[in-house]
Structure 1
Amino acid sequence: MKVNPAYTSQRCSACGFVTENNRESQAVFRCKAAGCGHREHADVNAAKNIKHAAGHAVSACGDLGTSQSAKQEPLSRATGRTPS
């Protein structure tokens, strides 16, 4: 499953708050959202975000919007329908 990794290391896996300030260092993640304060290893936090995103990354055709699925049926240029 392909997941866009953008902001996964800056998003809190507990509350979803995103800011670059959540990454205190290469290894330390601490959420700066009011009332959260979630803290763990930055790579573990990012892995949780990727795992969560993977469960929501499937479209009706199984594509992620970045390219056409290899299993996609070819369409006729003239009609826009699948050839019979």
Structure 2
Amino acid sequence: QRCYACGFVTEGNRESQSVFVCKNPGCGNVDHADVNAAKNIRHAGGQPVSACGDLGTGQSVKQEPGSRATGQAT
């Protein structure tokens, strides 16, 4: 969902399983969705990436409950 060219993120960027079209009005990057994802992964090399896909820029809203993540009651 992240555009490799400009970094814009929205669910609408990935139009189908294979088609990626950036919805940022100033970008409009078009690529195969898997190729765009591979470019994002290559670009993220060396940066911390959480299990939820964050590029170390903030905390994801998708977090496991403490009891599931640690096996301990919260």
Among 25, 33, 37, which residue is 2:28 paired with? 37
Counterparts of residues 1-84 of structure 1 (less than 5 Å): 10-57=1-48
CA RMSD for the aligned pairs?
A: 1.5
Q: Which has the higher contact order (CA 8 A, sep 6+)?
A: 1
| Structure 2 gap ranges (5+) | 49-74
Instruction: Give the residue type in structure 1 aligned to 2:45.
Output: A
Partner Cα separation in structure 2 for residue 51 and residue 13 of structure 1: 10
- Normalising by structure 1, we get a TM-score of 0.55
- SS of the equivalent of 1:29 reads strand
- SS of the equivalent of 1:40 reads strand
- SS of the equivalent of 2:6 reads coil
Partner Cα separation in structure 2 for residue 28 and residue 47 of structure 1: 14
| Structure 1 gap ranges (5+) | 1-9, 58-84
Instruction: Give the residue type in structure 1 aligned to 2:44.
Output: A
* Structure with more helix by fraction: 2
Instruction: Give the residue type in structure 2 aligned to 1:49.
Output: N
